[in-house]
Structure 1
Amino acid sequence: MRDLKLKVRYPKRFKVTTDSNHSEAISPNRLDRQFQGAEPNQVWTTDITYLWTLQRRLYVAVVIDLFSRQVVGWAIDEHMRTSLCVRALQIAFWRRKPPLGLLHHSD
């Protein structure tokens, strides 16, 4: 390894990003693990993930329509603050213009 000038690269430590110890109100689980929609724009779900680029880690928030499994909104940024999720949801609303009664499920 020394001759080839290779170095060991250790995996990054796991970073906890969920704070379950809070005093905020918890909404009821109306979806109840029924992950299918009967028609478009009836049930949307969201999640956040991250990806490594050559420069840094980026966070991606997506909104998915459970009827078609199509991504209807997304946002990418260098942070995982509320504004990232709000922007993804705003894009989904702008693109799909859902009717009243839409169920939006998030962790």
Structure 2
Amino acid sequence: MIAFIDEHRDQFGVEAICRTLRATECGFITSRGYRAAKTRPRSSRTLRDGILVEELRRIHAENYGVYGVRKMHHAMRRAGWQIGRDQVARLMRAA
């Protein structure tokens, strides 16, 4: 939701977007909530995900870019990271 507002705020404005989205089923954000979300510090999960994505990219490149989720999970565990297979899959999709 925040990314959508960031993408279209120059064209429509934050207030108008939030007012329009409030009329929909998923419209839960207000302009005040948007500003609060923008100033809120990043969560620890987001910070750790950033570190893990870089490590995943490095290990994937070292292995000629052919490792899938299962082998990447094992490679990350061998490298000393405490990470689950589903988390590796989520981060690989995001990257």
Report the TM-score when normalising by structure 2. Answer: 0.22
Structure 1 or 2: more strand by fraction:
1
TM-score, with structure 1 as normaliser: 0.21
Per residue, is there more helix in 1 or in 2? 2
